[in-house]
Amino acid sequence: MKNWIVILLLLFVVTSCKTRNAAKKRNNNVKIDSTFVLENDNSPKDANEPVSDKLTFYEHVLVPPQFEQIKINSKVNVETGSFIPTLDATIYIEKDKKVWMNLQAFIINVARGIATPEGIKGQDKTSKTYIDSDFDYLNNLLNVNFIDYKSLEKILMGRTFVKINDSQFTLTRNAQGFKMASNVNQKIVTDEKTREYKIVLNYDTNYDLLSVNLKDVLSPDELEVSYSNWEEINGIRLPKNVKIIIKGSKSSQILMENTKFDFSRMETPYSVPSSYKKIEIK
């Protein structure tokens, strides 16, 4: 009964309208909570080598992208062990305000949802059910405990969505590009639980994010998101292919092909028919 809603909520994270503008300015007074790259060393490395000058990496990777809204059309394939047809997704992101999504299968609307700073809402038209929840449900689906609207939007915009401390992460450079890896377990504390993760982020030589891996050190839970086939549209870098792999107590895989990007405004209707039944989140 929950299949479409589960897919809908997972896609809020995977649909990565990942964007990034290269920074043009420096600010030596900025407090560093992430790691950066050696600016003038452009030669590829076969083995991981430490990077001493980290500022350029910070400027390229952490500076927020400049946009007001973006619409993404995607082809989505979900692998859960049960048959789910290819889905046509329309995702609309309005910066700092909302992420809206509509899903179709065989030209039929099957699900719709919206995420705001207050929480997430989703409706499954096939079973006539809906949810209205905070972000705990989404965290449970992804086997993590740290996603709120701010981190969700960072994921969708391709930003670093976990706190990275320079003293607890090591930045290295290799033939592929750049790698940031935690050298101590990263403890994330929320109201519900405390978890510890090993975290690894990989970037290519022009700072596009290639993958993010979070491994819970006390359980088999693991989340990995990867990106490929990047291109620049309206001055913003965007990936055409996104993959998310969830392992552990719940396992699934989602493959996305982003086929079209549009920066114009659009209407984002969302209402639940009175005949729909609410699914209680426990």
> 55 — alpha (psi -120 to 50), left (phi > 0) or beta?
alpha
* 278 domain residue, yes or no: no
- Residue-wise pLDDT tens for the chain (282 aa)? 445 555 555 555 444 333 333 333 334 433 334 333 333 444 444 567 877 778 888 788 877 788 899 999 999 998 888 888 899 999 999 999 999 999 999 889 999 999 999 999 999 999 999 999 888 877 877 778 888 888 887 777 777 777 777 788 899 999 999 999 999 998 888 776 788 999 999 999 998 999 999 999 999 999 998 999 988 988 888 888 889 898 887 788 989 999 999 999 999 999 999 999 998 766
- Phi and psi at 217, nearest 5°, equal -75, -15
For residue 225, the model assigns a pLDDT of: 87
Distance, in Å, from the CA atom of 201 to the CA atom of 150, rounded to the nearest integer, reads 19
Do residues 162 and 209 make contact, with C-beta atoms less than 8 angstroms apart? no
Helix/strand/coil (H/E/C) assignment for every residue in the chain: CCHHHHHHHHHHHHCCCCCCCCCCCCCCCCCCCCCCECCCCCCCCCCCEECCCCHHHHHHHHCCCCCCEEEEEEEEEEECCCCCCCEEEEEEEECCCEEEEEEEECCEEEEEEEEECCEEEEEECCCCEEEEECCHHHHHHHCCCCCCHHHHHHHHCCCCCCCCCCCCEEEEECCCEEEEEECCCEEEECCCCEEEEEEEEEEECCCCEEEEEEEECCCCCEEEEEEEEEEEECCEEEEEEEEEEEECCCCEEEEEEEEEEECCCCCCCCCCCCCCEECCCC
Q: Which CATH number goes with the domain that contains 209?
A: 2.50.20.10
* 272 domain residue, yes or no: no
* 177 domain residue, yes or no: yes
* 280 domain residue, yes or no: no
Q: Which domain holds residue 193?
A: 3-264
* 51 domain residue, yes or no: yes
* 277 domain residue, yes or no: no
Please state the pTM of the whole predicted model: 0.79
* 279 domain residue, yes or no: no
Of 120, 92, 96, 84, residue with least CA distance to 15: 92
Number of domains in the chain: 1
* 275 domain residue, yes or no: no
For residue 37, the model assigns a pLDDT of: 36
Do residues 30 and 166 make contact, with C-beta atoms less than 8 angstroms apart? no
- Phi and psi at 58, nearest 5°, equal -60, -45
